[in-house]
Amino acid sequence: DAGITQSPRHKVTETGTPVTLRCHQTENHRYMYWYRQDPGHGLRLIHYSYGVKDTDKGEVSDGYSVSRSKTEDFLLTLESATSSQTSVYFCAISGEGGPTDTQYFGPGTRLTVL
């Protein structure tokens, strides 16, 4: 299994509070991704990174920001959480092939916004 961890694994928070999710990898992979997974929608890309300090938006980036100061860490921040951001969040990594390379997923973070 690829060395990917996510923290926290579960979180309950209130509307309007900031939330940061962490993804940590030990594979030294260049590409990292944040997805959300909701019933009826499947996996949707929020943001991705193609290197330290290089990030770009995915299809559902509104309300989310990311940072990557080290190869191994990719942070996802909800500046002011809303109930619509209740979801399961997955981090993924891929090698030099980028998006056409196999993506390996972390265990996920279940976030509930009340």
Contacts to other proteins by CB under 8 A: 35, 40-45, 48, 58, 90, 99-100, 102-108
Compute the distance between CA of residue 67 and CA of residue 85 in angstroms, rounded to an integer.
19
Cβ 33 to other proteins shortest distance, Å: 8
Measured from the CB atom, is 42 or 96 closer to other proteins?
Answer: 42
114 near 15, Cβ under 8 Å?
yes
For residue 8, count other CB atoms closer than 10 A to its CB. Answer: 12
Question: Could you tell me the smallest distance in angstroms from the CB atom of residue 112 to other proteins?
Answer: 15
Handedness of CA 56, 51, 44, 102 (dihedral sign): positive
Element (H, E) at 56: strand 54-57
- Name which of 18 and 107 has its Cβ closer to other proteins: 107
Instruction: CB nearer to other proteins: give 39 or 53.
Output: 39
Min dist CB 107 to other proteins, Å, is 5
